[in-house]
Amino acid sequence: MTKQIQLEVITPHGVVLKEMVDFFSLRALQGDIGILPDHIPIVTPIEIGILEYKKGEVNDFIATMGGFLEVQNNKASIITESAEKAEDIDLMRANASLNKSQSRLQQKELSIDVTRAEASLKRALVRLKAIELLKDVKKKK
């Protein structure tokens, strides 16, 4: 039997994922990192990005909106403001959010909070990327 690591993704609204997985990767502030069973203990901030995890022959994806990763004793916990499994992301809503963010950034008004609009754009792009990655994995099967 292959050794696995427990992966939990937790938001203020509850647990998004709690599974034993073979491997996962995500974007930390220092760059992309991959975690296998028996990884050394770490705590690190994570970026808005894609969490990819593998269980057997199945790859899956979650859009995470920043937060922290802690790994210790074959248990990994990701604490994030928001996370969505790729399969649960509403494509129409993600595209609408992308269009709204792009439109706000193209306006040259001083009243726009550029930092907030850029973060919204990044979140929309991550959601769309998660959907795209899931579609690509399903195509290959």
Structure tokens at 90: 């509403």
The pLDDT, as a whole number, for residue 109 is 66
pLDDT at 112 exceeding the cut of 80: no
Amino acid at 34: G
Confidence at residue 118, expressed as pLDDT on a 0 to 100 scale: 86
Ranges for all domains in the chain classified under CATH 2.60.15.10: 5-86
Residue the block writes with tokens 């990767």: 25
CB 20 within 8 A of CB 35: no
Element (H, E) at 139: helix 114-140
- CA 134 to CA 127: how far, in whole Å? 11
Tell me what pLDDT residue 74 has: 96
Under 8 Å between Cβ of 11 and 36: no
Alpha helix positions (H), 18-113: 91-106
Q: What is the pLDDT of residues 75-107, one digit of tens each?
A: 999 999 999 999 999 899 998 988 888 888 887
pLDDT score of 110: 62
pLDDT on residue 108: 64
Amino acid identity of residue 76, one-letter, is A
The superfamily CATH assigns to domain 90-140 is ATP synthase delta/epsilon subunit, C-terminal domain (1.20.5.440)
Window from 44-48, 49-53, 81-85, 116-120 with minimum mean pLDDT: 116-120
7-28 pLDDT, tens digit per residue, is 999 999 999 999 999 999 999 9
Please give the pLDDT value at position 70.
98
Hey, what CATH topology would domain 5-86 get?
A: ATP Synthase; domain 1 (2.60.15)
